[in-house]
């Protein structure tokens, strides 16, 4: 270095490194302090920023910990943070893994040392003020902080444009301003926590909202300082104290030669003047307050809420936006009204602070017309994206989308402003609020939870900001502002055209049902499209019924969907309990039918029994289905009782007589089975099922020629039925009339099941090949086809290898569903003691 070194302003890299070193020291000190008092305070003082953290799966959820509404966790754990081996924080964490994404959402509850939820004081709030105190205390005695010492930096006075030793007064001013951004959060947290500890009052949403707002300040201050330092200007606290952070360099060094003098170009900025000229922002803020007051009065008079929050009904009445109310209900005016509504006083206060902040910074530059235009257009865009991206029944309210549009426009416009405080703070505030609202899980402050609305508003504001970039210095900008506000008001007013046809506020929920043109045609189609329909029509009880069908064997999901049927059906006709019960009974019937198809006969019977218990006019199909489930369980007496009740109510019910005939056959009474099949034919002489069944029962009763006549009649009624053809062949053999398999196989598709059985009976394939073709990846189909393969192999072997035939009949008896004729027939054949 030469003999004449000189001081230059420190850059962002060195100052950032110095800040990081000092902040790490403060973090270590605060964690050490908390570790020493954690047990003494029972966990009332914690440090959430600890370096070491361990989580273990929770065995039991602590009393007082409850899930947020709509949050379904995929895991729960107790997490403990340590400073070396000493605990400094304890929390209970719910985790939800996002579908088809590596991202996870977490919700945590602070716990004390006894695992009881508690409002603890987070000592990380003290780190910013303690950093200021550390540097002030050292520099008051002529020392430098470790970070500044390592980076070669020093704070000097710059009152006469030359470096001087900084006075104690200037240092105090500097660090008071530096620490001021973090002090409000410390104060609000201390008041809230102490009030909770002492039992004076429960921290209100408003108090916690103020704490949240105060949490913005350090981030805004830091961003403002970083922007200034990056542009080689003094930070706001250095400007106020007439100090500067400098480093000594060699005049011949590259660093010295690259140092440029700071820009002196600036634009005057007066907070008082800006506040006075922010008439549009103040007017909008007053309007938001008045509307929220009206919301609150309505909710309180209706007795639906207490405190300073409103409910879903109030939001819907005043114009909250959702896809179902807007697109399906036809109330498009909600796109305009939702930006003026709020859920709670905390929600309103947060948005008012942001609105007034951007109003003070932006409105004096662009004028009231542009300010209102951006607010309205961004609100419309945010509401539009909200209904496109969110679930149909998700209601959104709040001015945050409109405010973020102002922030985005202000951020873009700031790059056309001259250097100065207005540009600096406009950028800092916009970056922090936009970042906190658009970046989920970033830890930055967040204006709310509807990120689609935030994004839509920000995109609209960005588009207007691009116009500013083109016309900022143009004389046409004020005229364009008048045109813009006119267009925004017209667009908002145009949405009111939906009111005469769709109404205002409440509307009939019939509008939210699945339209006839897209309605599924069968239970199977309802189940296949359940998730798609649930996203679009969540208030249709038939959609909830479809979710129950789609749940399959998931009992909890099925029960949730059935509960959804109850709720949605009751909401459709609030004073018609019979309607709601009928809809719910239909859902139970559909679920029972689907569980029978899945061979879940126990669950099917439970649901059908529940459906039959309602004090409603009898639905005979419920008795038929329950009898079917009881047959699957082998409860023949119960099935017989249900079918007799069915036939007493509907004597001409042919399926009922056919089912009762099968039950009698399964209990060994083939004569009664034949008789009931004959009654079915009296009611429907052309019943294919009754003729085929009477042929089967005659075969089992040893009346082979009679069986052959009935089965031939069945084949005449349905020539494409494989089973009638197979049994014609078997009956012909038993009657001594020879094989008919070649004859009956004509014009039948032998590639699909039970075609392979017919190929086996024709000796085209052997036993091993038939068993191979019977196997299936589908569990139900595999059971059915292996059942039939074993039975018909036994029938084919019976004449020349009775022992092997008996083995196959026993296998059929074990495998076959009890509702299958092959199960009954195998039992009959085994009863003849063929082995």
Rounded CA separation 95/127 (Å): 28
pTM of the entire structure?
0.62
pLDDT digits (tens, 9 = 90+) for 622-659: 999 999 999 999 999 999 999 999 999 999 999 999 99
Q: Are 499 and 352 in contact (CB under 8 A)?
A: no
pLDDT digits (tens, 9 = 90+) for 669-687: 999 999 999 999 999 999 9
DSSP E strands: which ranges in 200-338? 243-249
Rounded CA separation 499/330 (Å): 8
Question: Does the pLDDT value for residue 277 go beyond 70?
Answer: no
pLDDT score at 211? 66
Question: Does the pLDDT value for residue 835 go beyond 80?
Answer: no
Rounded CA separation 641/649 (Å): 13
Helix (H) or strand (E) holding 121: strand 121-122
Helix (H) or strand (E) holding 156: strand 153-157
Rounded CA separation 358/429 (Å): 8
pLDDT score at 85? 84
How many residues are there in the chain?
835
Question: Does the pLDDT value for residue 510 go beyond 90?
Answer: no
Task: Please give the structure tokens belonging to residue 581.
Answer: 């019960």
pLDDT digits (tens, 9 = 90+) for 711-728: 999 999 999 999 999 999
Category of 716 on φ-ψ map: left (φ > 0), alpha (ψ -120 to 50) or beta:
alpha
Describe the strand order of the beta sheet including 52-57 as a list of residue ranges: 52-57, 75-83, 86-97, 104-110
pLDDT score at 535? 77
pLDDT score at 309? 84
Q: What is the mean pLDDT of residues 121-135?
A: 88
Q: What is the mean pLDDT of residues 117-146?
A: 87
What SS3 state is found at 599? coil
Rounded CA separation 588/610 (Å): 8
pLDDT score at 645? 94
DSSP-derived letter for residue 338 is G
The partner residues of 108 in beta bridges, in order of sequence, read 93
Rounded CA separation 699/735 (Å): 10
Rounded CA separation 704/717 (Å): 20
Mean pLDDT of the chain: 84
pLDDT digits (tens, 9 = 90+) for 250-269: 554 444 444 444 433 344 55
Residue 445 — pLDDT band, cuts 50, 70, 90?
very low
Q: What is the mean pLDDT of residues 283-308?
A: 88
Between the CA of residue 475 and those of 182, 471, 483, what are the distances in Å?
43, 8, 14
pLDDT digits (tens, 9 = 90+) for 514-543: 888 888 888 788 888 888 888 778 888 888
The partner residues of 153 in beta bridges, in order of sequence, read 247
pLDDT score at 265? 39
DSSP E strands: which ranges in 381-435? none
Which of 210, 346, 365, 255 is closest to 6 using CA atoms?
255
What SS3 state is found at 475? coil
Residue spans of alpha helices (H) in 495-554:
499-502, 523-528, 530-536, 541-550
Residue 299 — pLDDT band, cuts 50, 70, 90?
confident
Q: What is the mean pLDDT of residues 431-458?
A: 66
Residue 441 — pLDDT band, cuts 50, 70, 90?
very low
Q: Are 95 and 105 in contact (CB under 8 A)?
A: yes
pLDDT digits (tens, 9 = 90+) for 355-403: 999 999 999 888 899 999 999 999 999 999 988 887 777 888 999 999 9
pLDDT digits (tens, 9 = 90+) for 536-584: 788 888 888 888 888 888 888 888 889 888 888 887 777 788 888 999 9
């Amino acid at each position: 270095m030469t003999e004449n070194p000189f001081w230059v302003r420190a850059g962002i890299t060195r100052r950032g490194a110095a800040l990081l070193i000092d902040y790490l020291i403060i973090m270590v000190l605060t964690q050490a302090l908390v570790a020493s008092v954690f047990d003494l305070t029972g966990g009332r003082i914690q440090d959430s920023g600890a370096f070491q953290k361990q989580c273990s799966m929770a065995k039991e959820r602590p009393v007082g910990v409850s899930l947020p509404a709509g949050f379904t966790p995929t895991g729960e754990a107790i997490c403990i943070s340590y400073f070396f081996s000493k605990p400094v924080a304890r929390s209970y964490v719910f985790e939800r893994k996002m579908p088809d994404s590596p991202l996870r959402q977490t919700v945590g509850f602070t716990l004390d040392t006894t695992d009881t939820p508690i409002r603890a004081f987070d000592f990380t709030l003290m780190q910013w003020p303690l950093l200021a105190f550390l540097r002030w205390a050292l520099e008051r005695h002529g020392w430098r902080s470790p970070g500044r010492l390592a980076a070669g930096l020093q704070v000097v006075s710059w009152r006469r444009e030359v470096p001087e030793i900084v006075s104690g007064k200037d240092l105090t001013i500097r660090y008071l301003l530096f620490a001021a951004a973090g002090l409000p959060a410390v104060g609000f947290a201390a008041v809230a926590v102490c009030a909770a500890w002492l039992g004076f009052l429960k921290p209100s949403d408003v108090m916690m909202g103020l704490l949240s707002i105060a949490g913005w300040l350090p981030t805004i201050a830091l961003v403002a300082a970083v922007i200034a330092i990056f542009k080689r200007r003094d930070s706001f606290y250095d400007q106020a104290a007439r100090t500067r952070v400098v480093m000594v360099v060699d005049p011949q060094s590259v660093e010295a030669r690259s140092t440029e003098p700071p820009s002196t170009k600036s634009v005057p900025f007066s907070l008082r003047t800006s506040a006075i000229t922010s008439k549009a922002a103040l007017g909008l803020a007053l309007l938001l307050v008045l509307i929220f007051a009206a919301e609150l009065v309505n909710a309180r008079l209706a007795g639906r809420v207490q405190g300073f929050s409103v409910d879903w009904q109030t939001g819907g009445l005043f114009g909250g936006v959702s896809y179902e109310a807007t697109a399906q209900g036809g109330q498009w005016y909600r796109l305009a009204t939702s930006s003026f509504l709020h859920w709670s006083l905390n929600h309103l206060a947060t948005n008012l602070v942001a609105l007034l902040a951007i109003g003070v910074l932006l409105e004096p530059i662009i004028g009231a017309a542009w300010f209102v235009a951006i607010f309205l257009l961004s609100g419309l865009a945010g509401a539009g994206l909200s209904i496109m991206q969110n679930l149909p029944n998700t209601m959104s309210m709040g001015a945050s989308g409109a405010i973020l549009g102002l922030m985005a426009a202000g951020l873009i416009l700031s790059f056309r402003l001259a250097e100065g405080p207005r540009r600096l703070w406009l950028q800092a505030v916009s970056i922090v609020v936009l970042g906190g609202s658009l970046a989920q899980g970033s830890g930055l402050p967040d204006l709310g939870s509807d990120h689609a609305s935030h994004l839509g508003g920000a995109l609209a504001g960005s588009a207007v900001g691009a116009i500013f970039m083109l016309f900022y210095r143009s004389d046409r900008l004020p005229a364009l502002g008048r045109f813009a506000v006119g267009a925004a008001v017209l667009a908002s007013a145009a949405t009111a055209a939906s009111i005469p046809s769709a109404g205002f506020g409440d509307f009939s929920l019939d509008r939210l049902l699945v339209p006839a043109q897209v309605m599924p045609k069968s239970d199977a189609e309802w189940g296949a499209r359940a998730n798609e329909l649930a996203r679009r029509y969540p208030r249709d009880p038939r959609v909830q019924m479809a979710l129950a069908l789609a749940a399959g064997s998931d009992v909890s999901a099925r029960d949730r969907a059935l509960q959804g049927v109850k709720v949605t059906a009751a909401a459709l006709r609030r004073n018609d309990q019979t309607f709601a019960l009928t809809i719910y009974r239909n859902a139970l019937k559909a679920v029972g039918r689907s569980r029978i198809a899945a061979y879940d006969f126990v669950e099917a019977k439970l649901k059908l029994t529940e459906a039959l218990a309602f004090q409603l006019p009898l639905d005979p199909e419920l008795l038929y289905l329950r009898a079917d489930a009881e047959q699957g369980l082998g409860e023949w007496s119960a099935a017989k009782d249900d079918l007799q009740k069915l036939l007493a109510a509907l004597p001409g019910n042919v399926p009922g007589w056919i089912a009762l005939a099968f039950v009698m056959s399964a209990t060994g009474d083939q004569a009664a089975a034949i008789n009931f099949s004959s009654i079915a034919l009296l009611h429907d002489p052309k019943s294919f099922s009754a003729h085929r069944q009477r042929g089967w029962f005659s075969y089992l009763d040893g009346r082979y020629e009679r069986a052959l006549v009935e089965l031939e009649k069945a084949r005449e009624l349905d020539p494409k039925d494989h089973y009638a053809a197979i049994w014609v062949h078997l009956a012909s053999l038993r009657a001594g009339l020879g094989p008919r398999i070649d004859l009956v196989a004509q014009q039948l598709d032998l590639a699909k099941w039970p075609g392979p059985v017919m190929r086996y009976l024709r000796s085209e394939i052997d036993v091993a090949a038939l068993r191979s073709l019977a196997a299936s990846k589908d569990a139900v189909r595999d059971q059915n086809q292996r059942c039939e393969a074993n039975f018909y192999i036994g029938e084919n072997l019976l004449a020349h290898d009775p022992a092997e035939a008996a083995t196959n009949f026993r296998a059929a008896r074990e495998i076959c569903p009890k509702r299958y004729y092959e199960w009954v027939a195998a039992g009959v054949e085994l009863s003849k003691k063929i082995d």
